[in-house]
Amino acid sequence: MYKPSSGKASLSNLKVLLAEDNEVNKLLALSILRHWGIETQTAHTGNEVIAMMQEHDFDMVLMDIQMPEKSGIEATQAIRQLDDEKKRNVPIIALTANALRGEEKKYLAAGMNDYLTKPFKETELYNVIQRVLSDNSSFGSRYESDAVENLNLPSDGEQLYDMTLVNELAQGNADFIKSLVQIFINTIPQTTKEMAEACEQKNWEQTGKLAHKLKSTIDTMQILSIKEDVRTIEMSCKNAKQIDHVPYLVKRVYAVIEKATVQLRKEFSL
């Protein structure tokens, strides 16, 4: 198991509140933290987090975004309004299954100090804790590069769509093609955003329905890099199987659609 360096203040001096309602995630995080000698208490709901913060002193909170009763964001907002200055300013690290671009702004606005995408490695947890302890957390500025690096996206400059099928359907009608592209720009990014939000809320039924809604357009535009991803999202959500992999696929689809939209706007001057 990974052992943190002892160059800075020992992590074993920390008292951490772990807010996590998923028992597997909780067990894994506790195993790491306690191996490092960190005194750790746990909370299952947002309300428990607030109550424990009022009753005890902690050096840091690891805050799951999706929890019963109150979300991690709501719990953080409540902590930031506590009367006790020390409790009010406790460092809070968001734990999230979704690192979609723009989401980090919600965490920052709520008063969180940094975030970590699940599932995470021990070294990643250690690094984010050290960033926060050293007040060197460039929260948000790392987001885009981190997300893109982990999503195995097509290379920069690669055209993400193929207009062959659209051109066949258009039969030389340039206005038809431009209208279809405009419809894509007006609707598909929004549908993808709604799918990401449903996934963030663990609303798998809605996530699957929105993936189905995207499928035919992605086929028509031949965005091949995410063709199978969308089908996997739909079927996983429909059958409630391999759900843990869905957030990763949703992030990937979101990123590719965003890039494809930029390319379409540029090509068709829209």
Binned at pLDDT 50, 70 and 90, residue 233 comes out as very high
User: The domain containing residue 92 runs over which residues?
Assistant: 11-150
**Which of 102-111, 189-198, 206-215 has the least mean pLDDT?**
102-111
Mean pLDDT of all residues in 153-173: 87
Does 190 lie in the same domain as 118?
A: no
Q: Is the pLDDT of residue 4 over 70?
A: no
Does 120 lie in the same domain as 18?
A: yes
Q: Please name the residues in contact with 74: beta carbons below 8 A apart, sequence gap of 6 or more.
A: 46
**Which tops the pLDDT comparison, 131 or 210?**
210
Mean pLDDT, the chain, rounded, equals: 85
Binned at pLDDT 50, 70 and 90, residue 66 comes out as confident
Q: Look up residue 82 and give its two tokens.
A: 């506590």
- From CA 83, how far away is CA 161, in angstroms rounded? 54
**Which tops the pLDDT comparison, 3 or 73?**
73
Does 146 lie in the same domain as 168?
A: no
Residue 157 placed within a domain: no
- Total domains present in the chain: 2
The bridge status of strand 114-117 relative to strand 92-96 is: parallel
Question: Looking at residue 260, which CATH number applies to its domain?
Answer: 1.20.120
Q: Please list, residue by residue across 103-133, b when 16 or more beta carbons sit within 10 angstroms of its beta carbon and e when fewer do.
A: bbeebbebbbbbbbbbebebeebbebbbbbb
Q: Is the pLDDT of residue 26 over 80?
A: yes
Among the candidates 126, 150, 174, a domain finishes at 150
pLDDT tens digit sequence for 256-266? 999 999 999 99
Residue 5 placed within a domain: no
pLDDT of residue 101: 56
Does 197 lie in the same domain as 93?
A: no
Residue 4 placed within a domain: no
Residue 128 placed within a domain: yes
pLDDT of residue 224: 93
pLDDT of residue 135: 65
Among the candidates 127, 150, 173, a domain finishes at 150
Q: Which residue has the tokens 């039924």?
A: 205
Does 122 lie in the same domain as 21?
A: yes
Does 18 lie in the same domain as 143?
A: yes
pLDDT of residue 143: 37
Does 47 lie in the same domain as 106?
A: yes
Binned at pLDDT 50, 70 and 90, residue 16 comes out as very high
pLDDT of residue 2: 46
Residue 159 placed within a domain: no
pLDDT of residue 13: 84
Does 195 lie in the same domain as 173?
A: yes
* Residue 70: Cβ within 10 Å count: 18
Mean pLDDT of all residues in 206-217: 95
Does 178 lie in the same domain as 123?
A: no
pLDDT of residue 6: 44
Residue 155 placed within a domain: no
Distance of CA 180 to the CA centre of its chain: 30
Dihedral sign (CA 61, 63, 69, 71): positive
Question: Looking at residue 72, which CATH number applies to its domain?
Answer: 3.40.50.2300
- From CA 149, how far away is CA 138, in angstroms rounded? 17
pLDDT tens digit sequence for 40-58? 999 999 999 999 999 999 9
Residue 168 placed within a domain: yes
Q: What is the DSSP string of the chain?
A: -----SSSS-GGG-EEEEE---HHHHHHHHHHHHHTT-EEEEESSHHHHHHHHHHS--SEEEEESS-SSS-HHHHHHHHTT-SSHHHHT--EEEEES---TTHHHHHHHHT--EEEESS--HHHHHHHHHHHHTT---TTTTHHHHHHHHTTPPPTT------HHHHHHHTT-HHHHHHHHHHHHHHHHHHHHHHHHHHHTT-HHHHHHHHHHHHHHHHHTT-GGGHHHHHHHHHHHHHT-SGGGHHHHHHHHHHHHHHHHHHHHHHHT-
Distance of CA 109 to the CA centre of its chain: 16
pLDDT of residue 71: 92
pLDDT of residue 138: 47
Binned at pLDDT 50, 70 and 90, residue 151 comes out as low
Does 72 lie in the same domain as 114?
A: yes
Q: Look up residue 230 and give its two tokens.
A: 């969308």
Does 51 lie in the same domain as 118?
A: yes
* Residue 67: Cβ within 10 Å count: 23
pLDDT of residue 248: 86
Does 185 lie in the same domain as 102?
A: no
Mean pLDDT of all residues in 193-208: 93
Residue 3 placed within a domain: no
Among the candidates 118, 150, 182, a domain finishes at 150
Max Cα–Cα distance, the chain, nearest Å: 71
